[in-house]
Amino acid sequence: MPLEELEKQLLSLSPTDRLRIIQSVIQSLIPTVTSESSQDTDNLNRDRSPNHPLRSLPLTIPPDFDEPMSELWDALEQ
């Protein structure tokens, strides 16, 4: 079906029906969570790694991360 004909048919529908079609099209574009999509994400991250070399490094947070820093507050008081 030519695009022009499809467009005419869509515009002849009620706004509610057009919205349903738009929602269906959007849902069809959203990938489902499968091993294939996770593999695609992994491949995408690997492709970006030359531009973002730190992405491959593990992030570690020290155990005292959220403890108060009394030395800092003391220095600020002076």
Digit-coded pLDDT (tens) for 18-28: 888 888 888 88
Residues in contact with 49: Cβ distance below 8 Å, sequence separation at least 6, in sequence order: 55, 56
**At 49, which amino acid appears?**
S
Distance CA 75, CA 6 (A): 70
pLDDT at 15 over 70: yes
- Cβ atoms of 38 and 46 closer than 8 Å: no
pLDDT at 78 over 60: yes
Of all helices (H) and strands (E), which one includes residue 31? none
Question: Which pLDDT value is given to residue 12?
Answer: 93
The model's confidence at residue 57, banded by pLDDT at 50, 70 and 90, is confident
Q: What is the pLDDT of residue 43?
A: 61
Q: Cα(23)–Cα(29) distance, rounded to whole angstroms? A: 10
Helical pair 15-29 and 3-12, crossing angle rounded to 10 deg: 130
